[in-house]
Amino acid sequence: WFGGEKLGSMRGTLRFVEMATDYWTSPMQHRLDDITNPLTRRTDHVGLLAAVMEMTPSVVPYAHGETLLPLTYYWIPRVIWPGKPEARLGNVWAKWYGFLDPGDTVTSFNLPWLVEFYLNFGVYGVLICMFLTGGIFFLVERLFARAQDEIVPFCAGLGICLTLWYAESNFALMWGNTPVKIIILLI
């Protein structure tokens, strides 16, 4: 790709077919590893949690709720607050732990809720925050999703719950605009 060699359409196509043939005729385990290893790393919240637990607070101090503070203002529309801080936590937290290069200003590294709760408050933070999160889910589900006779509240609850169910991105990012959604749905 970066070899600097100029290939015409025909030679480029032949090279591609040759590479694809080599890949797909190689042993199956090699191909499965190429697919499953990156996928496993991407979805492995337990491995990420273990890495963060190993470094917190000995290398990286607890954040003491810093990553959750945006919950206080994420719900404010930019029309009202044009200078509202941008959501850059996906880049910032990964630099704290050395998962991203310090000069990288573009890449976003998802911060799962369990990891976020731990890096803020430790084990007790995970227990308390997950308990509170479960309580909020219970209330949202009770208020909206159980309205079996009423289709409008059910659809509203579904619209709210579906966006909250993504525990791979940081908590404030996923929950921050929920009050605005509820107000808009009520209107």
Closest CA to 171 of 53, 103, 63, 69: 69
Cα–Cα distance for residue pair 116/120, rounded to 1 Å: 6
Query: Given its phi and psi angles, is residue 63 left (phi above 0), alpha (psi -120 to 50 degrees) or beta?
Result: alpha
Q: What is the pLDDT of residue 148?
A: 64
93-119 pLDDT, tens per residue? 999 999 999 999 999 888 999 999 999
Confidence of residue 49 (pLDDT cuts 50, 70, 90): very high
pLDDT bin (cut points 50, 70, 90) of residue 43 is: low
> What confidence category does residue 63 fall into, taking pLDDT thresholds of 50, 70 and 90?
very high
In this structure, the chain runs to a length of 187
Has residue 163 got a pLDDT over 60?
yes
Distance CA 170, CA 176 (A): 10
DSSP string of 119-177, one letter each residue: HHHHHHHHHHHHHHHHHHHHHHIIIIIT-TT-HHHHHHHHHHHHHHT-TTS-HHHHHTT
The amino acid that residue 161 corresponds to is: C
pLDDT class for 154, splitting at 50, 70, 90?
Answer: confident
Which pLDDT band holds residue 121 (cuts at 50, 70, 90)?
very high
Q: How confident is the model at residue 30 (pLDDT cuts 50, 70, 90)?
A: low
**Cα 144 from Cα 157, distance rounded (Å):** 4
> Which pLDDT belongs to residue 15?
85
Q: Is residue 162 scored above 60 in pLDDT? A: yes
C-beta neighbour count of 174 within 10 angstroms: 17
Greater confidence, 170 or 8?
170
Closest-CA residue to 141 (of 131, 154, 125, 150):
154
Q: How confident is the model at residue 37 (pLDDT cuts 50, 70, 90)?
A: low
pTM of the model: 0.72
